[in-house]
Structure 1
């Protein structure tokens, strides 16, 4: 009877923990929805504007900093916010249009990571080629800074996902093509989903030299080489997923 009682208590604790986790996830999503509305509808924070610090936002919404971070991750994956390490959280310079159904639909869909990578393999090499000819020197310098930030975080053993997302989306935006901006959520979702890979750290270390090559060819304005470098980069990623 004692064993049964202990089992019941453990099961009860397990159920409570599961419920609590579900509640926290739901609260994070609600916070993301409210913050999204504040930005997209109310215009309280404009494109490129820095948000208040975590303590201030958490106090405003009456939530924990952990819940706030989950909400920010959701909006970062959706192209609404950008987390810049050491600088804070900013509203994206180019916000997705509310009339564009791809963003909310994509965030709800259950998509295999391989499917997302295949989409990137079709589009991103050409995006990089366009960025090579259309990007300003300032944009290329920013892409280079992001590549160095990914490398720095990796050496420190920290999560590089947000910096990696910023790196690839910066190239996407540097192509200066309105249509390509609509696939930004695909890129963000793909890179965000890589957090779940068991060999995540090993994977990122193996792909880091590709980032260096991409930046080098962008700086040289070498269209053919940067297109090939991006294609090789994504093929390496696909091979690691098999």
Structure 2
């Protein structure tokens, strides 16, 4: 006998936000491949019965999925998954929103700081700088395939670019920030859970390769553009995390 759509759900954990719990459980189904892009979610009534929540809670949860670009409702037809596993790279605890605002502020600062550092690195890098960056990237790729930790290698690559700028103030600032320089390092604290899928990490390392390639060619304009895009993508992932946790439209740090 074919299982009904509602049977695909597992019993969720209880927390202060029922809508948040529904979002997390549906998100986990997408991450694990139970729901594929284009698949239809159970009806509002089925979700209500399974989770034991009101229609208001269900609609709020669906609204959050829509805001994150993961689901789309077609009136008279139903709600469908339109995002993929990478669309939900973070699972967020509501108590972590302060941390997210902090990280967003750091990323705004980094966008100006590291973009310029990358441009200067393209003009001033030495062969030793290039060798160090290449070694870090190779280790990053190897760690992805082996399922190892890539956070330190991520931080290291950014610091190597700062050092290659031949302006010690860039590297001094990154050293001062410590793990705050890397959202993936901070979100491993237990309040935010980072997506460690190989596909996600390959995307990050691919962005690093684009930056490195521009520095190798001494193309300062492209190096700046590649770094700016890379940090912009990081900020977008945090925006998606915020949308999954709930809307705070009055917060200027989280547009």
Match of 1:183 in 2: 173
Q: How many corresponding residue pairs?
A: 134
Q: Deviations over 1:173-196 (max 9, x none)?
A: 111113223211326422231434
Q: Deviations over 1:61-88 (max 9, x none)?
A: xxxxxxxxxxxxxxxxxxxxxxxxxxxx
Q: Distance in 2 between matches of 1:149 and 1:170?
A: 14
Match of 1:220 in 2: 217
List aligned pairs for 1:5-154, cutoff 5 A: 112-154=102-144
Q: Distance in 2 between matches of 1:194 and 1:150?
A: 19
Is 1:206 the counterpart of 2:203 in the alignment?
Answer: yes
Match of 2:157 in 1: 167
TM-score, normalised to structure 2's length?
Answer: 0.49
CA RMSD of aligned residues (A): 2.1
TM-score, normalised to structure 1's length?
Answer: 0.51
Can you give the 5+ residue segments of structure 1 that lack an aligned partner in the other structure? 1-109
Q: Deviations over 1:80-128 (max 9, x none)?
A: xxxxxxxxxxxxxxxxxxxxxxxxxxxxxx7722111111111101000
Once the 2 structures are TM-superposed, how far is the Cα of residue 206 of structure 1 from its aligned partner? 2.6
SS in 2 for 1:198: strand
Residues 204 and 116 (structure 1 numbering): CA distance in 2 closer, same or farther, change over 3 Å?
farther
Residues 120 and 165 in structure 2, CA contact (< 8 A), matched pair in contact too: yes
Once the 2 structures are TM-superposed, how far is the Cα of residue 200 of structure 1 from its aligned partner? 2.9
Can you give the 5+ residue segments of structure 2 that lack an aligned partner in the other structure? 1-98, 240-255
Give the structure with the higher percent helix: 1
Q: Distance in 2 between matches of 1:124 and 1:190?
A: 10
